[in-house]
A and B are shown apart, each in its own frame.
Chain A
Amino acid sequence: MNQEKVDKIIDRYSAKEGKGILIQLLLDIQNEFNWLPGEAIVQISERLQVPVSQIYRIASFYKVMSLAPIGRHLIQVCLGTACHVRGGPKILDKVEECLKIKTDETTSDMKFTVRRVNCLGCCALGPVMVVDNDYHGKITTVKVKEILESYD
């Protein structure tokens, strides 16, 4: 983690201190590091004079925020209604089985993290799985393995 980077992000909001910046700030940290490192939370707490507990409350409430480091590739399997009726749960099962981890876990080599999401809004392509920023649509259980193998 880079203290300077965190400081820079906090600086972006310095003009608006006290006006509901905490969630936006944490989102920026999340986007920068892909998770919310504990040191960053302490740093924010000290600079903004906000209790650590309050920051954790937010960080643990929101789905986008992660309190644990995630793997190099983030896999999001859509289980929105449309994907559900088109077999999304089977895709998630297959991903879990291939990687031998459960949802919200990371492989021990830090390569993949698996999450389920509740609709990515590209229902026409269901079932959908997104790896990093690549959308894989209309996938079958057979394709899952191929897709996973294409990442290193």
Chain B
Amino acid sequence: MARIKSTAELEEQRQEILSKRDPDKSRIAICSGTGCLALGCDRVISAFKEEIKRQGLEDKVDIKETGCPGFCEKGTIVVIYPEGIYYLQVQPEDVPEIVSETIKGKKVVDHLLYTDPSTGAKAIHESQIAFYKNQKRLLIGNNIKIDPKNIEDYLALDGYRALAKALFEMTPEQVIEEVKESNLRGRGGAGFPAGRKWETCRNASGEPKYVIVNCDEGDPGAFMDRALMEGNPHSILEGLIIGAYAVGSHEGFIYVRQEYPLAVENVGIAIEQAREYGFLGENILGSGFDFEVEVHRGAGAFVSGESSALMTAIEGRVGEPRPKYIHTTISGVWEKPSNLNNVETWANIPLIINNGAEWFKSIGTEGSKGTKILSLVGKVNNTGLVEVPMGITLRDIIFKIGGGIPGGKKFKAVQTGGPSGGIIPEQYLDSPVDFDELAKLGSIMGSGGMVVMDEDTCMVDIARFFIDFLCDESCGKCVPCREGLDQMRGILNDIVAGKGEEEDIELLEEIGETMSNFSLCALGTTAANPVLTTIRYFGDDYEAHIKEKRCPALVCKDLIAYYIDQKKCIACMLCLNNCPVDAIEGEKGKIHVIDQSKCNKCGTCYDVCPPKVGAVKKISGEPVPPPPPEEERKIKREKGEKEGD
């Protein structure tokens, strides 16, 4: 492939790609993102390849391994084009049927369609599925149409048109002006206006200047950046090159966590192809602008996702933050002006350049424009990646898109913004989701992780979970963060163990305030948020643990007990055989009893007891009912009744 040297050549190339493609040809798109991979999509893919061969359809059908379309709960996802038929939870066994019925017979396979749980109606197309219907998928919408390892797919969807426009029709200042005008705010967490950042970097003295993509997505429960990097790497690359042109940089870095091997692989391939086509390297598209980029792998440190820490890591040193009295846009990598943005921020740039700031501003709220990708996870029916316009309410996200809480349980809270974020209770479900509104509730947008919690979630345990995580991940450089977290962990461990004291809550708040005010970087200043918001909204949970030594959600091991309800036990031996510490006594036909002195509260008995029997009970804050007397333990069966097995 010869390098493309002008806008005209780019358009020619695009036409050539499109002319080779028959829009009416059958195409099978199969999600091969990490979520579906974990569900075994590779077996589905090989099954399709085999079946197509077996039925002699090689010339008539294309198979495309694509990025993640977001509906992870229902993977493996297969979409048949040109009809756009959406098949969910596809297994290798379903493949022959799909090929015979849909590809050959042009008929829909009913049992693989999405079924609306409330109405029972079947949905054939994406637009009919409740999960997708209420989204606005500007960034991840193309994932299912693109093979991330093939640049032609991106070009076929108008890829790199924004780059050509920026290079040939706009000055760097005009690009910055457009981004400023769009009011695009950083998607990594802080929500700082991207255009202003670019301008500071452009005006900073010092050469060379660097541009950086932050894909060190460390928030547990967040994977939107990975989906973009894996599924549509060229969109990020295009944004980055435009940004480099705008700030006057000729060298960039893409920082990806090593834990995302597929993202590392796909972005590597994308860079190579972009170089080959003339979108990277010297004299890009014949414009005279030069830019090179390299991938830097992160080695597993949450704190290294902080911008100054990330830049230190790029220099090959331990990725710890530094005080930012001087912004990294002025003095970053090797003390040179460095402009870092998050993956999603960069991916928005081509859209803004192509469609203009006015268009972008028409989406979202007053202070937060555009869309945001959220990862909707936890106790929610439709787990997955969700892209919504800013300003949509939490309730719409969780109930309309997410389909509510599984198992008929009650919603308790939603945690937003990762470990630095906060926990939002039910009374605020109608709050709009944007940078400012979430901050008002004591939480943050963060990178967009959204973990839904039901009534079985203990808020003290969750607070302890986050503090535990942060203790592990704090680099230890500054005292408030290092010591504050450790003290908080100690107090929370006591509370969940039933050793909490009444003044603990006040103490936690005091430590939290000190950390917020005096820590060095954002990790420390926000680290207390999970504790402070759980105290603010779920003070009752804390009180129950401290005063009544009771865990209302029945989670904290030291405060709960398991026992077997003698009226329900069918003496089937299941729990007895599975108990790892031999704490259950009984035999076939004899009601089982848990020896409380031996029980380690692992919950295995509770998990294995068949739901229709439901004999194993969990309690907290009340005494365990005494076991039945020996003579009542024999189960008397009616004639003809089968013994439980």
Known contacts: A23-B313, A62-B301. The answer to whether A141 contacts B602 by CB under 8 A is: yes
Q: Which of B302, B451, B462, B472 has the most CB of A within 10 A?
A: B451
What chain B residues lie within 8 Å of A141 (beta carbons)?
602-604, 607
Nearest residue, chain A, Cβ from B383: A124
Segment from A2-10, A67-75, A80-88, A106-114 that makes contact with B:
A80-88
Q: How many interface residues does chain A have, given as a range?
A: 35 or more
Contact (Cβ within 8 A) A85 B258:
no
- The answer to whether B259 has its CB under 8 Å from any CB of chain A is yes
The interface bits of chain B over 217-254 (1 if a CB of A lies within 8 angstroms of the residue's CB, else 0) are 11111110010000000000000000000000000000
What chain A residues lie within 8 Å of B453 (beta carbons)?
85
Contact (Cβ within 8 A) A80 B220:
yes
CA distance A117 to B301 in the complex (A): 11
Known contacts: A20-B315, A121-B34, A123-B72. The answer to whether A97 contacts B302 by CB under 8 A is: no
- The answer to whether A137 has its CB under 8 Å from any CB of chain B is yes
Contact (Cβ within 8 A) B302 A118:
yes
CA distance A35 to B342 in the complex (A): 30
Contact (Cβ within 8 A) B37 A82:
no
Partner of A137, one of B39, B217, B318, B457: B39
- The answer to whether B375 has its CB under 8 Å from any CB of chain A is yes
Contact (Cβ within 8 A) A86 B379:
yes
Contact (Cβ within 8 A) B377 A24:
no
Of residues 374 to 401 in B, which have CB atoms within 8 Å of A's CB atoms?
Answer: 375, 377-379, 383-384
Segment from B45-53, B182-190, B292-300, B346-354 that makes contact with A:
B292-300
What chain B residues lie within 8 Å of A26 (beta carbons)?
299
Contact (Cβ within 8 A) B313 A81:
no
- The answer to whether B35 has its CB under 8 Å from any CB of chain A is yes
Contact (Cβ within 8 A) B378 A122:
no
- The answer to whether B332 has its CB under 8 Å from any CB of chain A is no
- The answer to whether B23 has its CB under 8 Å from any CB of chain A is no
Q: Which of A26, A57, A64 has the most CB of B within 10 A?
A: A64
What chain B residues lie within 8 Å of A81 (beta carbons)?
220-221, 377-378, 415, 418, 449, 451, 462, 465-466
Known contacts: A27-B299, A64-B258. The answer to whether A97 contacts B223 by CB under 8 A is: no
- The answer to whether A125 has its CB under 8 Å from any CB of chain B is yes
A97 shortest CB reach to chain B, Å: 6
What chain B residues lie within 8 Å of A120 (beta carbons)?
34, 38, 259
What chain A residues lie within 8 Å of B473 (beta carbons)?
118
Contact (Cβ within 8 A) A97 B580:
yes
Partner of B72, one of A65, A85, A122: A122
Partner of A82, one of B217, B377, B475: B377
What chain B residues lie within 8 Å of A128 (beta carbons)?
38
What chain A residues lie within 8 Å of B602 (beta carbons)?
90, 93-94, 97, 141
Contact (Cβ within 8 A) B39 A125:
yes
- The answer to whether A99 has its CB under 8 Å from any CB of chain B is no
Of residues 18 to 62 in B, which have CB atoms within 8 Å of A's CB atoms?
Answer: 34-35, 37-39
CA distance A58 to B602 in the complex (A): 37
- The answer to whether A45 has its CB under 8 Å from any CB of chain B is no
What chain A residues lie within 8 Å of B578 (beta carbons)?
142
- The answer to whether B608 has its CB under 8 Å from any CB of chain A is yes
- The answer to whether A43 has its CB under 8 Å from any CB of chain B is no
- The answer to whether B155 has its CB under 8 Å from any CB of chain A is no
Known contacts: A62-B300, A120-B259, A141-B602. The answer to whether A125 contacts B38 by CB under 8 A is: yes
Q: Which of B301, B377, B384, B475 has the most CB of A within 10 A?
A: B377
The interface bits of chain A over 47-83 (1 if a CB of B lies within 8 angstroms of the residue's CB, else 0) are 0000000000110011111000000000000011110
Contact (Cβ within 8 A) A121 B378:
no
- The answer to whether B75 has its CB under 8 Å from any CB of chain A is yes
A98 shortest CB reach to chain B, Å: 8
Contact (Cβ within 8 A) B313 A123:
no
Nearest residue, chain B, Cβ from A135: B38
Contact (Cβ within 8 A) B607 A24:
no
B78 shortest CB reach to chain A, Å: 16
Contact (Cβ within 8 A) B226 A121:
yes
Nearest residue, chain A, Cβ from B608: A142
Nearest residue, chain B, Cβ from A25: B316
What chain B residues lie within 8 Å of A21 (beta carbons)?
316
Contact (Cβ within 8 A) B465 A20:
no
Nearest residue, chain B, Cβ from A78: B220
- The answer to whether B260 has its CB under 8 Å from any CB of chain A is yes
Partner of B318, one of A27, A61, A80, A90: A61
CA distance A72 to B299 in the complex (A): 21
CA distance A61 to B38 in the complex (A): 29
- The answer to whether A40 has its CB under 8 Å from any CB of chain B is no
- The answer to whether B335 has its CB under 8 Å from any CB of chain A is no
Contact (Cβ within 8 A) B299 A64:
yes
CA distance A121 to B229 in the complex (A): 13
- The answer to whether B537 has its CB under 8 Å from any CB of chain A is no
Q: Which of A27, A64, A82 has the most CB of B within 10 A?
A: A82
Contact (Cβ within 8 A) B378 A86:
yes
Nearest residue, chain B, Cβ from A13: B316
Contact (Cβ within 8 A) B299 A119:
no
- The answer to whether B73 has its CB under 8 Å from any CB of chain A is yes
Contact (Cβ within 8 A) B603 A123:
no
Known contacts: A90-B603, A124-B73. The answer to whether A65 contacts B38 by CB under 8 A is: no
Known contacts: A21-B316, A81-B449, A119-B221. The answer to whether A63 contacts B378 by CB under 8 A is: no
CA distance A142 to B606 in the complex (A): 11
B508 shortest CB reach to chain A, Å: 20
- The answer to whether A41 has its CB under 8 Å from any CB of chain B is no
A110 shortest CB reach to chain B, Å: 23
Contact (Cβ within 8 A) A63 B457:
no
A62 shortest CB reach to chain B, Å: 4
Of residues 137 to 152 in A, which have CB atoms within 8 Å of B's CB atoms?
Answer: 137, 140-142
- The answer to whether B469 has its CB under 8 Å from any CB of chain A is yes
The interface bits of chain B over 432-457 (1 if a CB of A lies within 8 angstroms of the residue's CB, else 0) are 00000000000000000101010001
Of residues 179 to 225 in B, which have CB atoms within 8 Å of A's CB atoms?
Answer: 217-223
Contact (Cβ within 8 A) B299 A65:
yes
What chain B residues lie within 8 Å of A125 (beta carbons)?
35, 38-39, 72
Contact (Cβ within 8 A) A82 B220:
yes
- The answer to whether B314 has its CB under 8 Å from any CB of chain A is yes
Contact (Cβ within 8 A) B297 A27:
yes
Known contacts: A63-B300, A64-B300. The answer to whether A119 contacts B220 by CB under 8 A is: yes
Contact (Cβ within 8 A) A119 B219:
yes
Nearest residue, chain A, Cβ from B71: A124
Contact (Cβ within 8 A) B38 A85:
no
**Residues of A at under 8 Å CB distance from B?**
19-24, 26-27, 57-58, 61-65, 79-82, 84-86, 90, 93-94, 97, 117-126, 128, 135, 137, 140-142
**Residues of B at under 8 Å CB distance from A?**
34-35, 37-39, 72-73, 75, 217-223, 226, 258-260, 296-297, 299-302, 313-319, 375, 377-379, 383-384, 415, 418, 449, 451, 453, 457, 462, 465-466, 469, 472-473, 475, 578, 580, 602-604, 607-608
5 inter-chain pairs at a CB distance below 8 angstroms, sorted by A residue, are A58-B299, A81-B221, A82-B221, A122-B72, A123-B378
Given contacts A82-B220, A135-B38, 5 further A-B contacts (CB under 8 A): A21-B316, A62-B300, A119-B221, A122-B34, A140-B607
